[in-house]
Structure 1
Amino acid sequence: MRLLRSSAVVGGFTLLSRFFGVARDMLFAARLGAGPVTDAFLTALQFPNLFRRIFAEGAFNSAFIPLYARRLEGEGEEAASRFASEILSVLTTLVLGLVVISQIAMPWLMFLLGPGFVGDPDLFAFAVVMTQITMPYLLCMSVAAMLSGVLNSHERFAVAAAAPILLNIVLISLLVLAPGDRRDLALALSAGVTVSGVLQVAWLWDAVRRAGVRIGLRRPRLTPGVRRLVALGIPGALAAGVTHINQLVSGSISTLQEGARSWIYYAERLYQLPLGVIGIAMGVALLPALSKRLRAGAEADAMAGQNRAIEISMALTLPAAAALLVIPGTIVGGLFERGAFSASDTAATSLALMLYAAGLPAFVLIKVFSPGFFAREDTVTPMKFAAASMALNLALGVALFFGPMKFAGLALATTLAGWLNALLLAATLVRRGQFVADARLRERLPRILGACVAMALAVFAASRWGEAPARTLLEPAVPAMLVMPAFMLLVVAFGAAVYAGSAMAFGALRPSELRSALQRPAGAALPASDSEA
């Protein structure tokens, strides 16, 4: 199945990027920990990073790819390149204006982004300066998103998927090499974010040129193609970015509790590892595939592709969610508990992670169901569902945060809002006759759940009763600071082995099907995405 191969390309490089991200966050926790300075830096990073996630992880592409691909297939390379140049010019002009206005207005915007800093004028001003430094990253990621859309339309997934690794390389370098106290380090990291954005644009621009696509800046004009993209793109951005918009709301509210913004950040980073590798990769690869099948009138093939996307994504997501639910303390402690990150930080982060994990399948399903609308150029319906989800998230988040749950209530609200969005998307596709779960999906999902239960029981037992024996074996062999990370890796590896064995025993996964899906047909040309990067 070409979908699985394309998803594997995107997912593989996304996985590599996320592993770099985990290494970055381990260093980040050790040097900055959780506290006011960390909260201020994460707020500075959150605003431009929101746009990175909305644009770079599929929302911009949800509108751009179908329009670009239509011109590419129907009118040829020259017309497609002309359309891309029109979009690049308008996009650069608008976002540059937004960046400049935001930097000027940041002292007032910070009342919304970090209301918890208002009582500390020095911290408030520090957060304003760092956010102003990171704002150009928004422009870089907007351009990078369009370039990634061009590459994805030409089935060159690897280069676009690998670009975010540059962010982690720059920040890891600063965390290892930059001297100074927490404030100096936070300022250096803020500058590093923007530098990494410039590097990503340069990387992608070179890849587009090597792909033979000739685009450039011209006088911005609202051509019919641009107007159509705007009509599709605005609701599409809101729809595809709802999870991240909900995170922005949660992050803003969490600044009212000291340390909470940091705890939520670390929890988000962990549950977003499988979300990025599975859900986003599947969505990025699924949209071009669905668009092509629907343009060819192959509705049955499009539906079959969506069934397989759900099957594959749930086979990979559900065990990850189960592990994060039952052993959050082992994972958080193993990764982060050292240096400035204390045991109390581990406990708070673990609680948030457990609540987010309950929503992980929903977050992935949103990425899988949304292309069913975007490929049909319907971005309004998902936008309405996103609005309902955001309203629920805001109402519940405020009620629970100022009630008994504090920061944990924000995580629970995000999870419940995610399930609402996923269910609305699924129900609408079913009602329209655009999605029907086939016999194979109905058969496989219970088997996948059974394998997940077996794995969850195994890792819970290993985490609870295996730590003392593991310490006895590990302490003579590895440095003290690596004992808990090593134990965590052993538990995770054990869980993966149990899940793989259970899935095959229950018939949830069949090695022959995976081999045939990943195998390239005899005589097929090697896609450029597999040979680059």
Structure 2
Amino acid sequence: MSLIKKFATVASGTLMSRVLGFTREMLMAAALGTGPVADAFYAAFQFPNTFRRLFAEGAFNTAFVPLFAKEIEAGGHDGARRFSEEVFGVLFTVLIFITIAMELAMPFLVSTIIAPGFTGDPQKYNLTVALAAIMFPYLMCMSLGAMMAGMLNSLRRYFAAAVAPVFLNVILIGVLYYAWHAGADGLSVGYWMAWGVMAAGVVQLAIVWIAVRHAGISIGFRRPRMTQNVKRLLWLAFPAAITGGITQINQLIGTAIASTQASAVSSLALADRVYQLPLGVVGIAVAMVLLPELSRALKAGHATEAANLQNRSVEFTLFLTLPAAAALTVISEPIVRLLYERGAFAASNSTPTVAAILAIFGLGLPAFVLIKAFTPGYFAREDTRTPMVFAAISVAVNVALALALFPSMGAPGIATASSVAGWVNALMLLVVLVRRGHWGREEALIRRIPRLVLASALMGAALWFGSHALAPYLASGSPLVVKATALGLLCLGGMVLYFALAFAIGGADLGMVRRSMRRRGAPVPSASSPVDGDPAS
């Protein structure tokens, strides 16, 4: 299967999840606005979600995948199953202890790490503690699920892992609909949503577990032992967890700082949900597909294929994220009006703040996605230390800027710090890859990047003029259908203009796209032949 088709397979599941995520956030904004219950829920959910990215996606999609791919190449399904059972036994045991410890320490954690600013409001503080305690076991389900997802990705079965997160949004939308139908108050909605998150974790784990069994690998529980394979995994996983979850670390820091200002936490969360659409669809697709493909190419000694994989991934990333960044920056306010401006959100007059945060996140979007395209170049070579050092520098930059800007700018200052830190991290990753000779210089790519930037800038200018021309139809008082139609026409016109410009000035090459669609990856070893029949692979 071609690289682009693999990206599309993962992106389709992620897109479904993100669209439903929009629906969920629209319903939540209408039900809770940016009030105290919303602040408490978003702060509480941020904590297990951050740990999920650190210990689940961060560690296992970076440290586990290359080792699992090596086991497949060396010993086929039997070797991969033994390795997975060794890891599963240790991971399950560690997660049990972490969950118990965090549940017991939750009041302390909320007051010192999650939302120290809430301690001045006992009602909001106690609610945050209760919601975080309900939702934290979600981490255990998602960590085990991430291991299963890493196995599926290594076996080139991408769809199940990509579609599983859809069920978090399906369940939460169901909870919100029931709450609306029952006429529940805000406090009840907060508690029901927390239990919905916990239920979604169980469902997501079940989906990937069944998919792994269907792929021909049945994992049994083994007594946890520190085998050589497990020691190697842990050695790689700790720095990989920090690096892979850098965006979430910065968000957790931002949430803690924002907790000192009313409505800042929920404003950041609502803006984050919008820019997560392009970040998730493109960035997660690239990260999930590129790492196992790059690991296989390097293990097989195919240096040319590895260089081509990296270049095509960056080209694909920039081709889609640069126009998205321009659009989020220029028309953030009409987007926020359409998505959120109703019910409690409209009454709180939060649109200008959320729109400003979204525009700043838009400027950092290419960096956030490029990080996901650059880090596999290190992880596939089992170098997790270098990206961890860069991640630590990025966190330091984020903290310093957030503390400096928040007093004068409020929540937009935290978004500014996060975007700047993202660009610092991305540039450091690229420079060192080039210096080590791990990034193949390709003249065609170097020529295309400035042309893609120019096409995106021209599209952004057109969107700016278009939004002013359609201002009466995009205004707060316009009917929802009118706003949706006007914004839809504006976005459609921008897309047509961008793609026309990109191909006309040489930012994209139609022949290259055709070749990439036809290019097929290295075959899966015969020991993993059951994968061949998977329609999603």
Query: When the two structures are superposed, what TM-score results if normalisation uses the length of structure 2?
Result: 0.94
What secondary structure does 2:102 align onto?
helix
Shift of 1:487: 2.4
Question: In the alignment, what sits opposite 1:198?
Answer: 202
Cα distance, 1:57 vs. partner? 4.2
Structure 1's 285 and 145: CA in aligned 2 closer, same or farther, altered over 3 A?
Answer: same
Counterparts of 1:234 and 1:521, CA distance in 2:
33
Unmatched 5+ stretches in structure 1: none
- Please report how far the alpha carbon of residue 295 of structure 1 lies from its aligned counterpart in structure 2 after TM superposition: 1.0
Q: Describe the SS at the equivalent of 2:381.
A: coil
Question: Could you tell me which residue of structure 2 aligns to residue 372 of structure 1?
Answer: 377
How far apart, in 2, do the equivalents of 1:28 and 1:470 lie?
Answer: 22
Deviations 1:22-71 (A, max 9, x none): 11111111111101110000011111111233455454211001111111
Contact in 1 for aligned 2:451/2:505 (Cα 8 Å): yes
Tell me the C-alpha RMSD between the 2 structures.
2.0
Pairs within 5 Å for 1:299-338 = 299-338=303-342
Post-superposition shift, 1:516? 3.3
Shift of 1:530: 6.3
Match of 2:393 among 359, 365, 388: 388
1:264 aligned partner? 268
User: How has the CA–CA distance of structure 1 residues 239 and 125 changed in structure 2, closer, same or farther, with 3 Å as cutoff?
Assistant: same
The match for 2:527 is none
Is structure 2 residue 429 aligned with structure 1 residue 425? yes
1:223 matched to which residue of 2? 227
Contact 1:156 1:529 in 2 (8 A): no
- 8 Å CA contact 2:364–2:419 kept in 1: the answer is yes
The aligned residue for residue 152 of structure 1 is 153
Structure 2 CA distance for aligned equivalents of residues 529 and 367 of structure 1: 29
Q: Deviations over 1:239-277 (max 9, x none)?
A: 111111100100111111000001100111111111111
The answer to whether the Cα contact below 8 Å between 2:155 and 2:531 also exists between their aligned partners in 1 is no
User: Could you say if the C-alpha distance between residues 415 and 529 of structure 1 is closer, same or farther in structure 2, counting changes exceeding 3 Å?
Assistant: farther
Task: Find the counterpart in structure 1 of residue 419 from structure 2.
Answer: 415
Distance 1:145 1:174 in 2: 25
Aligned pairs (5 A) from 1:101-500: 101-111=101-111, 112-178=113-179, 179=182, 180-342=184-346, 344-402=349-407, 404-468=408-472, 480-500=479-499
Deviation string 1:80-111 (CA, Å, 9 cap, x unpaired) is 10110111111111112111111111011111
Q: Give the 3 Å change call, closer, same or farther, for CA 175–486 of structure 1 in structure 2.
A: farther
User: For 1:376, what is the secondary structure of its paired residue?
Assistant: coil
Q: Once structures 1 and 2 are overlaid, which stretch shifts more, 179-188 or 506-515? A: 506-515
Indicate the residue corresponding to 2:504 in structure 1.
505
The residue aligned with 1:31 is 31
Partner of 1:46: 46
Contact 1:282 1:309 in 2 (8 A): yes
Please give the secondary structure, in 2, of the residue aligned with 1:498.
helix
CA displacement at 1:13 relative to structure 2:
1.0
Q: Is the 8 A contact 1:58 1:280 kept in 2?
A: no
The more displaced of 428-437 and 248-257 is 428-437
CA contact (8 A) 1:255 1:261 kept: yes
Shift in Å, 1:79: 1.5
Distance 2:167 2:56 in 1: 14
Cα distance between partner residues in 2 of 1:407 and 1:383: 27
Query: For the residues of structure 2 that align with 1:434 and 1:130, how far apart are their CA atoms?
Result: 45
Cα distance in 1 for partners of 2:374, 2:268 equals 26
> CA separation in 1, counterparts of 2:163 and 2:532?
14
Query: Using a 3 Å threshold, how does the CA distance of structure 1 residues 75 and 530 change in structure 2: closer, same or farther?
Result: closer
More moved, 244-253 vs 50-59: 50-59
Residue identity (%): 45
* Letter in structure 2 aligned against 1:168: N
Whichever residue aligns with residue 384 of structure 2, its letter is T
- CA 1:267–1:458: 2 relative to 1, 3 Å: same
Contact 2:215/2:531 (CA < 8 Å) preserved in 1? no
Shift of 1:439: 0.7
For residue 279 of structure 1, report the CA deviation from its aligned partner: 1.3
One-letter amino acid of the counterpart of residue 129, structure 1: A
In 1: Cα distance, 2:533 partner to 2:161 partner:
9
CA distance in 2, matches of 1:41, 1:113: 11
Check the 8 A contact 2:142/2:205 in 1, yes or no.
yes
Letter of the 1:513 counterpart? M
Q: Is the 8 A contact 1:333 1:346 kept in 2?
A: yes
Contact 2:360 2:415 in 1 (8 A): yes
Query: Displacement of 1:532 after TM fit?
Result: 4.4
Q: Which amino acid aligns with 2:358?
A: L
Residues in 2 aligned to 1:529 and 1:329: alpha-carbon distance in whole angstroms: 47
Question: If the length of structure 1 is used for normalisation, what is the TM-score?
Answer: 0.95
| Letter of the 2:110 counterpart | M
Deviation of the 1:2 alpha carbon: 2.4
Q: Is the 8 A contact 1:147 1:205 kept in 2?
A: yes
| Deviates further, 123-132 or 501-510 | 501-510
**Aligned partners of 1:328 and 1:351 also within 8 Å:** yes
Three-state SS of the structure 2 residue aligned to 1:436 is coil
- How has the CA–CA distance of structure 1 residues 243 and 282 changed in structure 2, closer, same or farther, with 3 Å as cutoff? same
**Aligned 8 A contact 1:24 1:172 in 2:** yes
In structure 1, how many angstroms separate the alpha carbons of the residues matched to 2:441 and 2:273? 32
- Deviations 1:372-395 (Å, cap 9, x if unpaired)? 000000000000000111111111
Give the drift of 1:177: 1.3
Q: 1:484 Cα deviation (Å)?
A: 2.1
Kept after mapping to 2: 8 A contact 1:117/1:123 = yes
Establish whether residue 64 from structure 1 lines up as the match of residue 64 from structure 2.
yes
Deviations 1:470-490 (A, max 9, x none): 78xx97xxxx33332332222
Q: Per the alignment, in what secondary structure is the counterpart of residue 344 of structure 2?
A: coil
Task: Give SS of 1:98's match.
Answer: helix
Which deviates more from structure 2 when the two are superposed, residues 285-294 or residues 368-377? 285-294
CA distance in 1, matches of 2:196, 2:533: 28
Does the 8 A contact of 2:291 with 2:376 survive in 1? Answer: yes
Q: Which amino acid aligns with 1:198?
A: V
* Contact 2:473 2:482 (8 Å CA) reproduced: no
The farther-off stretch of 2-11 and 513-522 is 513-522
Matched letter for residue 391 of structure 2: A
Kindly provide the CA deviation profile for residues 434-483 of structure 1, in whole angstroms up to 9, marking residues without a partner as x.
11331110111122112112211111111111133678xx97xxxx3333
